[in-house]
Amino acid sequence: MSRCISVIVSVYNEENALERFYETTNRILKETAAAYTQGPCGYQLLFVNDGSTDRSAEILDKLREADPDHVSVIRFSRNFGHEAAMTAGLDYACGDWLIFMDADLQHPPAMIPAIMDRFAEGYNIINMVRTRNETAGTLKNITSGLYYRLINRISDVKMEPAASDFFAMDRAAAEVLRHNYREKVRFLRGFVQNIGFRKTTLSYEAAARVAGQSHYSFKKLWKLSMDSIICFSNMPLKLGIYAGFLSGLLGVLLIVYTLFTREGAPSGYATIVIALCFMFAVLFMLLGIMGGYIAILFREMQDRPIYIIEDIRDEAGTGSKEAG
């Protein structure tokens, strides 16, 4: 059976970029698929139309009619967001290698041959790292740097700084993500970095958008950052415990201070201060304890895999357990 490269493209109101994207990517894919070092293979361009309200649907239909062997289109009933679009692409792509790209040519298709070379070297996951983002202003670059530093500090996974939604995985990694990490609050580029396997990075220069405008407003980026931090870290839930310890400690100091300086103060003053300090410390600690339980509930609900097996070497067939 011949093997296949799937390029997954999320599309939301990209009428002015789609044709150029198709031309460039199709040309490069054709060459790459023919010249792939491990033997020629087929390719698929899987567009996920995320409820576009412009002419994108029409253009995609035209592309598919003109090249039905290579172009597939999934159309959402409404806009569900970029993460949902990438997830649908992941689920429906039929390739042995999946490459996720934006439709605006910010992710250079010229990198596809280099990605395939990495697969040929035996890597399962290739994270594309931006060296420069021409369209993002200094503010966006600084906040993105801060965000990655924060998430790496407070969560268990190590995220590649400057990682993007441009990444590639082989079938083994895709199968894991098709069955696990099916949370509703999603951060696919984080999941990709979380599942193990042989990973490598390639750097690329993010080009300027060919047409149209970014759909990620500051508000949307803020939501994505908050969601991903909460997705990957229990730390915010545990703030209560730390606040409890801190207010307990400050309370003790304040109690000592009040006891020494209560001469001349109105009667009952020391009692009020002590009672307040005590109550706040207890309250924060209780919040922290509840946070701890919620964190466990949250992890259970996310239902992430306890382990991920890459392969089992068991020629004797002694272990027959279904693994997952």
For binding to ligand UDP (CB under 6 A), which residues are involved? 10-12, 14, 50, 79, 81-82, 85, 102-104, 106, 214-216
| 104 lines the binding site for Mg ion (CB under 5 A) | yes
CA distance 89 to 94: 9
Per-state percent for the chain, helix, strand, coil, to nearest 5? 50, 15, 35
Q: What's the min distance (Å) between Cβ of 200 and ligand UDP?
A: 23
State both tokens at 236.
């915010």
Q: How far is the CB of 43 from ligand UDP (least distance, A)?
A: 19
Q: Which does 12 bind (CB under 5 to 8 A by kind): Mg ion, ligand UDP, none?
A: ligand UDP
Residue 50 found at the interface with Mg ion (CB under 5 A): no
Q: Which residues contact 275 (CB under 8 A, 6 or more apart)?
A: none
Which residues are CB-neighbours of 231 under 8 A, at least 6 positions away?
A: 183, 185, 186, 187, 190, 302
* DSSP sequence for 20-63: HHHHHHHHHHHHHHHH-TTS--EEEEEEEE-S--STHHHHHHHH
- Which of ligand UDP, Mg ion, none does 79 bind, CB closer than 5 to 8 A by kind? ligand UDP
CA 219 to chain centre: 17
86 neighbors 8 (Cβ within 8 angstroms): yes
Say which entry of Mg ion, ligand UDP, none residue 72 contacts (CB below 5 to 8 A, set by partner kind).
none
Count of residues that bind Mg ion according to CB under 5 A: 3
- Give the interface segment with Mg ion, choosing from 68-76, 98-106, 173-181, 247-255 (CB under 5 A): 98-106
11 interacts with, out of ligand UDP, Mg ion, none, CB within 5 to 8 A per kind:
ligand UDP
* Candidate segments 47-55, 97-105, 174-182, 286-294, binder of Mg ion by CB under 5 A: 97-105
Query: Rg for the chain (alpha carbons), in Å?
Result: 26
| Smallest distance from ligand UDP to CB 7, Å | 12
Please report how many Cα atoms fall inside a 13 Å half-sphere around the Cα of residue 144, on the Cβ side: 18
- Least CB distance to ligand UDP at residue 85 (A): 4
Which one of 15, 102, 165, 170 is in contact with Mg ion (CB under 5 A)?
Answer: 102
- The residue count of the chain comes to 324
Tell me which of ligand UDP, Mg ion, none is bound by residue 96, counting a contact when its beta carbon lies within the kind-specific cut-off of 5 to 8 angstroms.
none
Whichever of 104 and 170 has its CB closer to ligand UDP, that residue is 104
Cβ(40)–Cβ(54) below 8 Å: no
Residue with smaller CB distance to ligand UDP, 85 or 277 = 85
Q: How far is the CB of 212 from Mg ion (least distance, A)?
A: 9
Indicate the residue whose CB is closest to ligand UDP.
214
H-run or E-run covering 199 = strand 199-206
Asked if residues 181 and 191 have their Cβ atoms less than 8 Å apart, the reply is: yes
| Nearest distance in Å: CB 81, ligand UDP | 5
Closer residue to Mg ion (CB): 9 or 177: 9
Supply the minimum distance, in Å, between the C-beta of residue 293 and ligand UDP: 34
Contact residues for Mg ion, defined by CB under 5 A: 102, 104, 106
